[in-house]
């Protein structure tokens, strides 16, 4: 049954630009349906701000279905908020209570500088994907299903890694600002499949070294896995580390033969 929440206070981080000083501003939401999503509540707040001649709160969103990875809010100090395995756009007001104060901030990571208010620049993720998150080997047209036999556990593990939506919560949740879960997922997605083998070790070396150039180091806190809306397993990091180590030998050998 639908309920109406009353007396919600939002404490929202406002910052006019990357180098401007930021700070929290409070906004009262007198009432809101518990069926509304958190982003719908921000939409309503923005309509009110615009009607009052004030600047709307800038925040990222696109699909609002948990699939694009665009939404990115720290809600009460947790990346994507209090619900496990849930992206910001899928957080609904029913997880809150009347009288709650909800603190909303942008991702906090030096690799993701704030553009404005709650929107950050996640370009360093693109740099990682640009150096290896693809297959260039000519594979011809789409083959018939099952033409390349792939054991089910391998296909499942690759598919699980491919669920990464590139949201950046893993980086925001990590005390070191490390991007190992994201990079590990992107590598596992391709490196586990037969089609990914030709470039497996070049991909591992290039993506890990690009990651290291932009992000902090992993010290196995596990906060990334806990914050991930797609529940990507931290196992992808172990796979990435093993592939990177092998790459350092295999790529040298290949170079010495060329
Ligand atoms: S690994 Fe999870 S938290 Fe990190 S970018 Fe991918 S979906 Fe987001
Ligand atoms: S808006 Fe697309 S995942 Fe949230």
Give the tens place of pLDDT for each residue, 219-256.
999 999 999 999 999 999 999 999 999 999 988 877 77
Ligand number nearest CA of 112 is 1
Whether the predicted pLDDT of 258 surpasses 70: no
**Can you tell me the distance from the alpha carbon of 111 to that of 248, in angstroms, rounded to the nearest whole number?**
26
Nearest atom in ligand 2 to 62's CA:
1
Q: Which residues make beta-bridge pairs with 120?
A: 114
Q: How close is the Cα of 83 to the center of ligand 2, in Å? A: 15
Q: How close is the Cα of 72 to the center of ligand 2, in Å? A: 8
* Atom 3, ligand 2: residue with shortest CA distance: 66
Is 140:85 a contact under the CB 8 Å cutoff? no
Could you give the residue ranges of the DSSP H alpha helices within the chain? 38-51, 123-130, 152-162, 169-173, 180-191, 200-214, 223-227, 235-257
Whether the predicted pLDDT of 176 surpasses 70: yes
Lowest mean pLDDT, pick from 34-43, 137-146, 203-212: 137-146
Nearest atom in ligand 2 to 64's CA:
1
Helix (H, G, I), strand (E, B) or coil at 32: strand
According to the model, what pLDDT value does residue 141 have?
Answer: 81
Other C-beta atoms lying within 10 Å of the C-beta of residue 254: 12
Question: Radius of gyration (Cα) for the chain, nearest Å?
Answer: 21
**b/e map of 134-161 (b: 16 or more CB within 10 Å)?**
eeeeeeeeeeeeeeeeeeeeeeebbebb
Mean pLDDT within 27-44: 98
Kind of pairing between the strands at 23-33 and 4-14:
antiparallel
**Can you tell me the distance from the alpha carbon of 98 to that of 4, in angstroms, rounded to the nearest whole number?**
8
Mean pLDDT within 141-152: 86
Residue with tokens 């990464």: 164
**Can you tell me the distance from the alpha carbon of 233 to that of 66, in angstroms, rounded to the nearest whole number?**
18
Mean pLDDT within 90-112: 97
**Can you tell me the distance from the alpha carbon of 165 to that of 43, in angstroms, rounded to the nearest whole number?**
23
pTM: 0.95
According to the model, what pLDDT value does residue 144 have?
Answer: 84
Nearest atom in ligand 1 to 166's CA:
5
Q: 161, 171, 182: which to mutate for ligand 1, most atoms within 8 A of CB?
A: 182
What sign results for the dihedral spanned by CA atoms 89, 93, 97, 98? positive
**Can you tell me the distance from the alpha carbon of 189 to that of 160, in angstroms, rounded to the nearest whole number?**
8
For 46, the token pair is 């923005």
């Amino acid at each position: 049954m639908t309920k109406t929440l009353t007396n919600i206070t939002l404490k929202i981080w406002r910052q006019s630009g990357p180098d401007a000083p930021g700070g929290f501003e409070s906004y009262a939401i007198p009432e809101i349906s518990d069926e509304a999503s958190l982003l719908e509540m921000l939409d309503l707040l923005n309509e009110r701000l615009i009607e009052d001649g004030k600047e709307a709160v800038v925040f990222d969103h696109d699909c609002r279905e948990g699939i694009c990875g665009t939404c990115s809010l720290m809600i009460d100090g947790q990346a994507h908020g209090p619900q496990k395995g849930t992206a910001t756009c899928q957080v609904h007001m029913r997880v809150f209570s009347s009288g709650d104060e909800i603190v909303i901030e942008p991702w906090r990571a030096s690799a993701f500088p704030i553009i404005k208010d709650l929107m950050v620049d996640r370009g360093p993720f693109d740099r990682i994907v640009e150096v290896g998150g693809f297959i260039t080997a000519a594979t011809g047209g789409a083959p018939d299903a099952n033409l390349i036999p792939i054991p089910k556990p391998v296909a499942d593990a690759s598919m699980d890694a491919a669920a990464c939506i590139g949201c950046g919560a893993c980086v925001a949740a990590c005390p070191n600002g490390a991007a190992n879960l994201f990079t590990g997922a992107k590598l596992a997605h391709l490196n586990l499949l037969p089609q990914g083998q030709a470039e497996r070790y070049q991909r591992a070396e290039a993506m890990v070294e690009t990651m290291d150039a932009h992000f902090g180091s992993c010290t196995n806190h596990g906060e990334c896995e806990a914050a991930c809306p797609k529940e990507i397993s931290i196992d992808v990091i172990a796979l990435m580390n093993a592939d990177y180590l092998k790459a350092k030998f295999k790529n040298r050998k290949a170079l010495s033969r060329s």
